Structure 1
Amino acid sequence: MSSQILQQLSGPLSNDQVEIIRTAVGDLSVEQTQWLSGYLAGLAAARQGEAGTQGAAFGAREEVAEQPQITVLFGSQTGNASGVASALYGQLEADGFQVKLEDMADYNPRNLKKEQYIALVVSTQGEGDPPDDALAFHEFLFSRKAPKLENLKFSVMGLGDSSYEQFCQTAKEFDERLAELGGERTHSRIDADVDYSGEQKQWIEQWQSVAEQLQKTVARPKLSVVGGADVAQPQWSKFQPFTAEVINSICITGRGSGKNIQHVEISLEESGLHYQPGDALGVWPQNNTDLVDEVLQLTALDGDANVQVDDAETTLRDALTNQRELTQVSKKFLEQLATDNEQLQQLLEGDRKDLIAFMQNTQVVELLALVSRDWQPQQLVDQLPGITPRLYSIASSTDAVDEEVHLTVGLVADERDGQVRFGAASRFLADISEGDSVRVFVEHNRHFKLPENGDTPIIMVGPGTGVAPFRSFMQQRDANGDSGDNWLLFGNPHFHTDFLYQTDWQGWHKSGLLTRIDLAFSRDQKDKIYVQDRMAENAADLYQWLQNGAHFYVCGDQKNMAKAVDETLHQIVAEQSGQGDDYAADYLKQLKRDGRYQRDVY
């Protein structure tokens, strides 16, 4: 269809030019095509000549002074900060303002001294650490190389999780440092929790106001392409998810396993959604019916009562099922209940670590059981945070499964006071059956990707469900016919019950695609063995692979596993190189800068 439209609208283009464009845009996604459309419109606006084509119309130009450019700069680990930045960029771009979008991983920080306006959004990882994409930028900004920024105006938005002690720490550091270097805030920093839709809207509106002050009259042409009804494609995204059908859901842990891990297959047919190995699938969960009933019972409320959510009317039951978070506790909700409970008040005023531990191990129903209160339906809905999607590393390649996407989902379950409490999304996905529907979107992660050169060796460390993206890596390398060596380090409690995708790995190893596999089943012997132990046992080989240009990947738990793997890798480099800790630290930093040390951790 795009080729037909291009032929119809070719206008002043030569046949050679048409062919070049057709080749260039042939495999672009809908999102990329829309971005390119905006870029071309901006390019046309910058040129003084008249521009017009058959079937495409440009708005008239008004002569105005050149508008300062706004740079939207983001540092993202899971894609949330990238999404916020893209939303701001898209809105300002659509409004006709001069704006560019920059990933901190690709941005040259020496250009800071040339910037006039920066809108910076960044997430915080673990115990207050910058996301991997922002490490180099963070290091530069806090070094002696950082320039004076007296001409810079900026504002910062932080994304984080208030259940962690260092909430939005990276954003706080960037905000303070930019001001120290002479920058002037356009607005105060915004710190956003897990449900950040309100803060995102506020931040965008603030920057729209800044942009409007910079240029009252926009001299930007509006481009509209005249074509059939099928020219416009739906843009599925986090806040406009695609309703997909579940094809299959099976448990892939054996009988007697202490883990319930599901392999879920979802159809993306007719969605237009595309993904690559390393990307994640966002899933909007529904709260379990039993959990919703328990909330209604504890509050003595009627599930059929009408309530307002985001200016739309619905029932209380629907709001609790689809739109409100019930398995995670917000600090705001705690503060509201603490007015009627001395224990909660002491908790809020006491050691923050105790508060965080309480929030991470308590659900809404447990608080409702603790604090007796006369609730009104709207009051309850207003106090609970909005439900948020969960991201799952994709365990498939489209070259192997066509218009499907596969997930590896571990059921989150914790028994407290004789009652098992489940994670919202993991239980939702564990309970779904063939033919059920699930709302999804693709979260692209261009910093967790296979090497462009298929001859490059890779080392994959993925215990438990962290093995998911490496299944997609192998499917892709198999489909490509890549010749690069592949080494997997996988761990779980027991060989007989917890060897996820065992037949896949054995098949790839037999065929020679999987060059090497080292397993760490922690409870199959007296002394526990983990993936970092296997790394240490094979230190010489691992270092030699790195010296031969291997890319090193880690996926899984950030707090314990990923930290231990990083420390072990540091030790291996220090010892095998014979040059000590300082050399190892610089070595790993360079691996990250070169995109050869990539992590997908949570």
Structure 2
Amino acid sequence: MAQLDTLDIIVLIVLLVATVAYLTKGTYWAVTRDPYGDSLAQANGVKSGKSRNIIEKMEETGKNCVVFYGSQTGTAEDYASRLAKEGAARFGLKTMVADLEDYDFDNLDTFPADKVAFFILATYGEGEPTDNAVDFYEFIHNDDVTFASGSSAEDQALANLKYVTFGLGNNTYEHYNSMVRHVDKSLRHLGATRIGEAGEGDDGAGTMEEDYLAWKEPMWAALAEAMGLEEREAVYEPVFDITEREDLEADSDEVYLGEPNANHLQGASKGPYSQNNPYIAPIAESKELFTTPDRNCLHMEIDIAGSNLHYSTGDHIAIWPTNAGKETDRFLRVAGLLDKRHTVISVKGRDPTAKVPFPSPTTYDAVARYHMEICAPVSRQFVSQLAPFAPTDEIKAEMTKLGSDKDYFHQIVTDRFLNIAQLLEIQSKGQPWSKIPFSLFIEGLHKIQPRYYSISSSSLVQEHKIAITAVVESIHKPNAPHILKGVTTNYLLALKQKQHGDPNPDPHGLNYAITGPRNKYDGIHVPVHVRHSNFKLPSDPTKPIILVGPGTGVAPFRAFVQERAALARQGQKVGKTVLFFGCRRRDEDFLYKDEWEQYKKDLGDNFEIHTAFSREGPKKVYVQHMMRANAAEINRLLEQRAYFYVCGDAANMAREVNTILGQIIAEQRGVPESKGEEVVKAMRASNQYQEDVWS
């Protein structure tokens, strides 16, 4: 009888599984193919069923140097690739690049003494590891870390490990470069030997590239001495083979024309949607928020109904940008590829550890338009790499000077906001640089990254629509030959103008491919995914909150106030909500002016807004000044355990707000300023003080 019962249970389970599979059409178990992930897995040998043993992988492929990266936006990955390539070219190292999340580290104590590991680590958020570095960080930073052999810190388990490390941070954050500092400390505690100094790059000061270049030369010298390496003349060797495919037409079903993965190529995009698999979302509505004709600020409502995407108030939405047609044309023209833009190419790594950063086969046009950051700031090191391929010796000499003289480079390139194609075009007076191998562009230019925006709507109020608030970037310097145009915000502006039937949706001739690859973006659509954030309202809605958000920093606070107003309309008790908002003029850029008035009606005395208009009076007034003017109220609310939120520019505003809050607390409570600073630090530690800031 027991045997029959067991059989019955098995049959029921089989029926249940079959039913779920049928009802979900298999999507519950479906894994969306990610060409970036696939190529990365192939690069590192981490396919299903393959080893996660980095030492085994290095032995299999004959490598003596692995460059690990912890990257959130791709920058650390880019530096890792550059270091691996330079180590191979200059010193003959057998290098590979590795994503930290693709390997286990419990056998790191058996790392051979004749090999070296690099750790290129970005710090994310408030001193946190990047998503792909979380497991590594938690393992190596554990006070009781024990390796598979049983060795531990007491045994100096990593005595054989030689390592190099460089961190990417932002000094506007309290926990500047904490990831690399903590990992370096943990590795040394375990007995590992660091080669050279632990480098630190500062994105907040805008010196990341120069910090990196200044660090790497003494590092290479130290490494060469430690490992007995001899420097040789670096000769360019392509990482990728580029094969032009005469057997394929650009409109062939197997050719990627900008699609991120196979599902999109086949026209059957499926979830789950993520940073490797965007949802092509319709823009339900869009409008202009500024009243002045020379500046634009967009409000957009993005429809996620039916996508199974979910967001919570305070989260971020990622917009996948497209490079402007004007800059795509410029890049292809200066590379000597304009006439071959629709030629199909296959891209393959020459080494089994080389990672192809986009799907293949594809076209030159698709790579330039959808996959490479052709509009990004130019790297001085990349300029040096391009110099040997200059059309003339005169241009080669000028490029060499730019690559070696940081002050001259800043004057000619950085300060004039030139992208790579603009620089090459100016240097050669329009003459093509047809000698540059296309592989070198792939290696030297970042993979284009999604841009993240604070969601300006409440998930309680509009579950299936995500609002964003974005100023369109357009900067012109008198000595710059081109206006700096924000890639994503101008793309969104073109979508908005198209949606409103503007006969000239690209007023600056940028010519975005609004309908997407193969014109599949019917109507007005944009690729997106959602990134969850810790920037959240208190779980108890009766708690008071203080919000500081000038300009578009007010975006998440519109969502916060919108949610509290909805709760109040439902009859729930809501705590005091105080907003400090700043802009230039009340009649030009006072974002959501009418909405605040409605929320005031909904919330009554539980909502206050303090405004700072910087260009209306004889003196400039900012949110910091309004905080000081309302110091007593701020302190009173903090004594009631109010939560304090800041959103906006990290370099100036957020840092000043942090300082002023400490001063307010000290002054109002009659204690030393150092005590006020301690209170603010304690608020941060307990999540009572939260920031959503950018550089």
* TM-score bin, normalised by smaller chain: 0.5 to 0.7
The aligned counterpart of 1:488 is 579
Give the superposition deviation at 1:306: 3.2
1:552 pairs, out of 628, 631, 644, with 644
State the partner residue of 2:342.
Answer: 304
Q: What SS class does the counterpart of residue 452 from structure 2 fall into?
A: strand
- TM-score normalised by length of structure 1: 0.66
**Structure 1 residue 259, shift from structure 2 partner:** 2.6
What fraction of aligned residue pairs are identical, expressed as a percent? 29
Q: Which runs of 5+ in 1 are unaligned?
A: 1-7, 13-29, 32-58, 60-73, 82-86, 96-101, 174-197, 199-232
Helix, strand or coil at the partner of 1:112: coil
Aligned twin of 1:367: 423
User: 1:506 Cα deviation (Å)?
Assistant: 1.3
Highest Rg: 1 or 2? Answer: 2
Q: In the alignment, which of 601, 606, 631 is matched to residue 539 of structure 1?
A: 631
Aligned to 1:237: 274
Corresponding residue of 1:464: 551
Paired residue secondary structure (2:466)? strand
Q: Distance in 1 between matches of 2:295 and 2:175?
A: 29
Partner of 1:114: 144
Matches within 5 A, 1:264-283: 264-283=300-319
Residue in 1 that maps onto 2:364: 316
Partner AA of 1:322 in structure 2: Y
Correspondences of 1:135-174 after superposition (within 5 Å): 149-150=189-190, 164-166=206-208
Map 1:576-591 to 2 at 5 A: 576-591=668-683
Of 320, 325, 333, 2:382 maps to 333
Once residues 611 and 628 of structure 2 are traced to their aligned partners in structure 1, the CA distance between those partners, rounded to angstroms, is: 13
How do 1:173-572 residues align onto structure 2 when only pairs under 5 Å count?
234-256=271-293, 258-300=294-336, 301-302=338-339, 303-308=341-346, 310=356, 312-331=360-379, 332-339=381-388, 340-351=395-406, 355=410, 358-359=413-414, 361-372=417-428, 373-375=432-434, 378-379=438-439, 381-382=441-442, 383-416=444-477, 417=480, 419-433=482-496, 434=499, 435-446=523-534, 448-480=535-567, 481-512=572-603, 515-572=607-664
Do 1:161 and 1:168's aligned partners in 2 also have CA atoms closer than 8 Å?
no
Tell me by how many angstroms 1:326 deviates.
Answer: 2.0
Deviation per CA, 1:503-529, whole angstroms, max 9, x where unpaired?
111111122265211101100112111
Which amino acid is 1:333 matched to? F
Indicate the SS of the match to 1:275: coil
Output the CA distance in 2 between the equivalents of 1:244 and 1:109: 38
SS in 2 for 1:497: coil
The total of aligned residue pairs comes to: 469
TM-score by length of 2: 0.58
User: Aligned to 1:395, what secondary structure does the other structure show?
Assistant: coil
CA offsets 1:323-347 (integer angstroms, 9 cap, x no match): 1112212414333344545455444
Pairwise CA distance, 1:349? 3.3
Instruction: Quote the RMSD (CA, aligned, Å).
Output: 4.8
What is the rounded CA distance, in whole Å, between the counterparts of 1:508 and 1:564 in structure 2? 28
Pairwise CA distance, 1:11: 8.1
Deviations 1:191-229 (A, max 9, x none): xxxxxxx9xxxxxxxxxxxxxxxxxxxxxxxxxxxxxxx
Do 2:663 and 2:677's aligned partners in 1 also have CA atoms closer than 8 Å? no
Q: Residue 127 of structure 1 aligns with which residue?
A: 171
How far residue 554 of structure 1 moved from its aligned partner, in angstroms, is 0.8
Deviation of 1:371 (Å): 2.5
Compute the displacement of 1:115 (Å).
Answer: 2.0
Pairwise CA distance, 1:459 = 0.8
> C-alpha displacement at 1:168, in angstroms?
11
Once the two structures are TM-superposed, the CA of residue 248 in structure 1 deviates from its matched residue by 1.6
**Is the contact made by 1:113 and 1:148 (CA closer than 8 Å) also made in structure 2?**
no
- Counterparts of 1:159 and 1:78, CA distance in 2: 15
Q: Secondary structure at the residue paired with 1:264?
A: strand
Distance 1:559 1:357 in 2: 25
Q: 1:429 to 1:378 in 2, by over 3 A?
A: same
